Amino acid sequence: MNISQLLEALKDTPVNLSVGEKLIAGFSVTVLSMVVVFIVLVLIAWLISLLQKEKEKEKETVETKENTSAEKEDIGELVSVITAAICAATGNSSNNIVVRKIVRSNNSKSSWQSMKKN
């Protein structure tokens, strides 16, 4: 009896099969189902990795777009904040104040952190 005949014989439960034939049929069903599950798991892993690559590409494009637009917005916002701070400190209007250049300092500490503790 070949495997396909054994599997056909297993469909009907009252069939008289020897113990060896039942073991071979059970083993073949087990191996067949394990192979199917393994193939499905490999396909799922492949799909997940494909989706992750797509998501990383989207993130890179979005980040580059956000960085360029965020830098432009931050500079305008920074200029307005600095101008407002100067106006508040001097008591003058912002009409005669012009911010020409903004340079970031190399200090990694803020002014509060760099103050000495007594």
Domain spans, the chain: 3-101
Average pLDDT of span 32-60: 91
How many Å is the maximal CA-CA distance in the chain?
105
Return the higher-pLDDT residue of 21 and 72.
21
Whether the predicted pLDDT of 55 surpasses 60: yes
Model confidence pTM above 0.75? no
Dihedral sign computed on CA atoms, order 75, 114, 107, 96: positive
Helices 19-90 and 3-11 meet at what angle, rounded to 10?
Answer: 90
Question: pLDDT category, 115, cuts 50, 70, 90?
Answer: confident
Average pLDDT of span 39-62: 89
Q: How much is the pLDDT for 68?
A: 61
